[in-house]
Amino acid sequence: MLKGKIALVTGSTRGIGLGIARALAAQGANIVLNGFGERREIEQIENELEKAYNVRVMHHPADLQSPDEIYEMVEWTRAQLGPVEILVNNAGIQYVAPVDELPRDRWDAIIAINLSAAFHAIHDALPLMKRKGWGRIVNIASTHGLVGSINKSAYVAAKHGLVGLTKVVALETAGTGITVNAVCPGWVRTSLVEKQIEDRAAQSGVEIATAARGLLIEKQPSQQFVSIEQVAQLVVFLCSEAANQMTGAAITMDGGWTAQ
């Protein structure tokens, strides 16, 4: 379905981002991975995806706190593979603390990576999409882009901002062949969520499985984690022709969390 398209997925050396990259590759897209990790492990991912799906897969190590490095990544992608046609802003970090105890540098880092990096990537990739008359921008937000939770001021502010950015860029590009949407998953058992489960278990003196169930019961009525594959397939759908008239949407996949 996406044969020959060029997809850049930030934060894609593991977790949700890697799942999205794999799903796009399965549809024939050439992939630029971005994120940190051991070079040998990243090369294994590149080789695995190339062999499995007969696509080109490359990696750029841009630090998303640097606008210059983001620009270099977009330009490097254009030089190596072609103009970015699918941009998935997935990279994110978390720090949990009451607002008056949140270190200032953690606030700055979370806003930079979870929100500002998406702006810079869109700013740099959008002119290329406009020239082609086709593009897909998918911002991986969160239920925290729609509702709040205690002790997550920076994360919630960044994800709310990402949903707002999605709406504005969608309005500015309406009718151009470019769509811009946000995906808002609930609890997905990634390393970020695993850390919260471990902290919860340690604070409560319970086993990891009990802490995980408690996390779900508190927020997610389905009492099941969203899977990486489910998020990835939603991104694939948003890149399809069936989603040509979906733009500016914040799409929840949260087991009923935001329906409460």
The CB-side HSE value for 170 (13 A sphere, CA atoms) comes to 20
Question: Same structural domain for residues 140 and 176?
Answer: yes
165 in the same domain as 238 = yes
Tell me if 207 is assigned to some domain.
yes
Which amino acid would we find at residue 140? I
Domain co-membership, 191 together with 83: no
pLDDT confidence band for 181 (50 / 70 / 90): very high
State the pLDDT at residue 241: 96
Residue 189 in this model has a pLDDT that exceeds 90:
no
Give the domain range for residue 169: 6-186+227-253
Q: Is residue 56 part of a domain?
A: yes
Residue pLDDT, tens place only, 209-220: 999 998 899 899
CA distance 87 to 121: 8
Tell me which H or E stretch contains 250: strand 250-253
Backbone angles phi, psi at 9, to 5 degrees: -120, 115
Lowest-confidence region among 27-31, 66-70, 190-194: 190-194
Residue 11 lies in a domain: yes
**Whether 97 and 83 share a structural domain:** yes
Amino acid 65: pLDDT = 97
- Cβ–Cβ under 8 Å, residues 93 and 115: no
**143 and 238 both lie in a single domain:** yes
Residue 142 included in any domain: yes
**Confidence category of residue 67, pLDDT binned at 50, 70, 90:** very high
Specify burial of residue 39 (Cβ count, 10 A radius: 0-12, 13-18, 19+). Answer: exposed
Q: How far is CA 186 from CA 73, 143, 225, 259, in A?
A: 29, 5, 8, 12
For residue 156, pLDDT beyond 90: yes
What are the beta bridge partners of residue 185?
253
Note the pLDDT of residue 247. 98
Confidence band of 7 (pLDDT split at 50, 70, 90): very high
Please name the amino acid found at residue 239. C
Does the pLDDT value for residue 196 go beyond 90?
no
Domain match, 134 and 193 both: no
CB atoms within 10 A of CB 12: 27
Question: Are 195 and 78 part of one and the same domain?
Answer: no
Q: Is residue 260 part of a domain?
A: no
Asked if the structure places residue 258 within a domain, the reply is: no
pLDDT score of 190: 84
With a cut of 80, say whether residue 192 has pLDDT above it.
Answer: no
- The residue with greater pLDDT, 209 or 193, is 209
| Among the listed residues 23, 139, 18, 4, the one whose alpha carbon sits nearest the alpha carbon of residue 82 | 4
Are residues 162 and 237 both part of a single domain? yes
Does 200 lie in the same domain as 140? Answer: no
Instruction: Decide if 259 is inside a domain.
Output: no
State the chain's maximal CA–CA distance in angstroms.
57
CA distance 182 to 165: 9
Q: Is the pLDDT of residue 129 over 80?
A: yes
The confidence score (pLDDT) of residue 14 equals: 94
Calculate the average pLDDT of the chain: 96
- Clarify whether residues 193 and 66 are in a common domain: no
- Is the domain of 10 the same as that of 45? yes
- CATH number of 67's domain: 3.40.50.720
Confidence of residue 180 (pLDDT cuts 50, 70, 90): very high
225-235 confidence digits (pLDDT tens):
999 999 999 99
Q: Residue 21 has what pLDDT?
A: 98
* Count of structural domains, the chain: 2
At residue 203 the predicted structure's pLDDT band, cuts being 50, 70 and 90, is confident
- Residue 63 pLDDT > 80, yes or no? yes
The answer to whether residue 1 is domain-embedded is no
53 is catalytic: no
Question: Rounded to an integer, what distance in angstroms lies between the CA atom of residue 135 and that of residue 142?
Answer: 22
Q: Which of 53, 71, 95, 155 is catalytic?
A: 155
Pair (103, 20) in one structural domain: yes
Q: Which residues pair with 33 in a beta bridge?
A: 9, 59
> In this model, does residue 200 exceed pLDDT 90?
no
Q: What is the mean pLDDT of residues 107-121?
A: 98
- Which structure tokens are listed for 252? 């929840």
